[in-house]
């Protein structure tokens, strides 16, 4: 398990190793690490910094700045509820509450057995088919609270 993790990290870092004259790109590297591992473990910061030839602090600064970079693994399924204006106008909050009730966890939290993590997101750009809920890579539009149970049933 640990070796597989190490390989994936090494692969991600290798793909972003700066080739002169290109300069090291911290954000691109962190996104590659996240694509490989599902998150960016803070314990690996020194290794990332070393490959890029930058300081640990520079990497930590970028990691903490961007909300879509995560330092914890999420559950098997990530539920994101859009908090954009069109979703707000179309009662997206009611959908969020229904989801929280259904899976018994608040925003930012993960359910028992790591089935779901619930998050809010900034506008998903699906405003004409709002309110919007995204589970993993699947986007759902015009969601009403009564659909929530059936919608989440599909994700084990």
Binding site for other proteins (CB under 8 A): 23-31, 58, 61-62, 65-69, 83-86, 88-91, 121-130, 132, 137, 139-142
**Residues written for the chain:** 156
- Residues 67 and 5: their CA atoms lie apart, in Å, by 23
If the CB atoms of residues 30 and 103 are measured against other proteins, the closer one turns out to be: 30
Cβ at position 28, least distance to other proteins in Å: 6
If the CB atoms of residues 45 and 121 are measured against other proteins, the closer one turns out to be: 121
Q: In degrees rounded to 5, what are phi and psi of residue 78? A: -105, 120
Cβ at position 3, least distance to other proteins in Å: 28
Contact 40, 34 (CB under 8 A): yes
Q: Which two tokens stand for residue 99?
A: 């989801």
If the CB atoms of residues 57 and 104 are measured against other proteins, the closer one turns out to be: 57
CA-to-CA separations, 19 to 15, 25, 56, 137, 153, in angstroms, rounded: 10, 11, 20, 32, 47
35-65 per-residue burial string, b: 16 or more CB within 10 A, e: under 16: ebeeebbeebbebbbebbebeeeebbebbee
Cβ at position 8, least distance to other proteins in Å: 19
If the CB atoms of residues 117 and 130 are measured against other proteins, the closer one turns out to be: 130
Cβ at position 98, least distance to other proteins in Å: 17
Cβ at position 116, least distance to other proteins in Å: 19
If the CB atoms of residues 27 and 37 are measured against other proteins, the closer one turns out to be: 27
Contact 28, 63 (CB under 8 A): no
């Amino acid at each position: 398990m640990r070796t597989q993790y190490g390989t994936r990290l090494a692969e991600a870092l290798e793909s972003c190793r700066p080739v002169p004259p290109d300069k090291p790109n911290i954000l691109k590297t962190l996104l590659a690490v996240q694509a490989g591992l599902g998150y960016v473990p803070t314990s690996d910061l020194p290794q990332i910094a070393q490959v890029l030839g930058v300081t640990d602090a520079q990497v930590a600064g970028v990691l903490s700045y961007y909300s879509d970079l995560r330092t914890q693994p999420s559950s098997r399924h990530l539920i994101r509820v859009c908090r954009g204006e069109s979703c707000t106008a179309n009662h997206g909050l009611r959908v969020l509450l229904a989801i929280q009730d259904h899976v018994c966890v608040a925003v930012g939290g993960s359910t028992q057995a790591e089935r779901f993590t619930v998050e809010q997101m900034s506008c998903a750009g699906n405003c004409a088919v709002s309110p919007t809920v995204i589970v993993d890579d699947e986007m759902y539009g015009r969601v009403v609270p009564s659909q929530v149970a059936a919608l989440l049933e599909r994700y084990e």
